[in-house]
Amino acid sequence: MKKFLTLALAFFLAGCGAISPAQPTAVPASQTPVVIVATVLVPVTVEAPTQAPPPPTNPPPQVIVVTATQEQAQVPPAGGGAPSGGTATATLPADAGGNLFSSLTRSGSFMSFRCLPQQITFTASTSNQYVVEVDFYYRFEDLTTQPTTMTEWKNYGKMTSDKNGNFSITFDVNLIHPDLRAIDKAWIDYQFVGLSKTLEAVGRSGKISQQIQYVKNCP
């Protein structure tokens, strides 16, 4: 019996020595953790302004255009009216064309710096083939002085040509020399000067005087 127990113990110890230590169990590939990065778009709501922007502090000035009616353009000075010193006449002098110009016309005989009308249109024609340009000259006869004084002639500018010997220009009281606009009462004298291609004087009309009335203030 003792011998049997000894053999059984030896067999048991031999069997325990054959058992290898347990190895860690491998994780299946299908169970490997996967890191997932997700991009989340968050909508942003932009609210439109509920109020209109305030108006500018200094708004641009309004442009007011004053147009003279036919009746306004024919209003004579108060009191029947030429400026003190004479009476206007529409009759041109005999030498008005100066042997160079014909068909001299104008649209009016009265101008005012502060009232209407403020423009007069002049026309002149010539058959001289050498005249390619016509300049319009004017001067004032100051009726506020005794005796009446005359200013120097001033060149208002080149007349518009139709290329057929006809010329026209609109004389605007706001474009005349500031020193002349300051005169209270005056005659406006005028003259046409024909120029060649080289801007040399070919000839000139007569000096047409005391036919246009000018007053600074309203009649």
CATH number at residue 174: 2.60.40.10
Q: Is the peptide bond before 147 cis (omega within 30 degrees of 0)?
A: yes
Query: Residue 113 falls within a domain, yes or no?
Result: yes
The total number of structural domains in the chain stands at 1
Please calculate the CA angle 147-149-150 and round it to the nearest 5 degrees.
155
Distance CA 167, CA 158 (A): 9
Say how many C-beta atoms besides its own lie within 10 A of residue 126's C-beta: 22
Query: Residue 42 falls within a domain, yes or no?
Result: no
CB 140 within 8 A of CB 150: yes
Helix (H) or strand (E) holding 167: strand 166-172
Q: What's this model's pTM, rounded to 2 decimal places?
A: 0.60
Question: What are the pLDDT digits (tens) for 119-170?
Answer: 999 999 999 999 999 999 999 999 999 898 999 999 999 999 999 999 999 9
Query: Residue 20 falls within a domain, yes or no?
Result: no
Query: Residue 92 falls within a domain, yes or no?
Result: yes
Domain that includes residue 157, residue range: 70-215
Question: What are the pLDDT digits (tens) for 171-204?
Answer: 999 999 999 989 999 999 999 999 999 999 999 9
Query: Residue 56 falls within a domain, yes or no?
Result: no
Query: Residue 136 falls within a domain, yes or no?
Result: yes
Query: Residue 206 falls within a domain, yes or no?
Result: yes
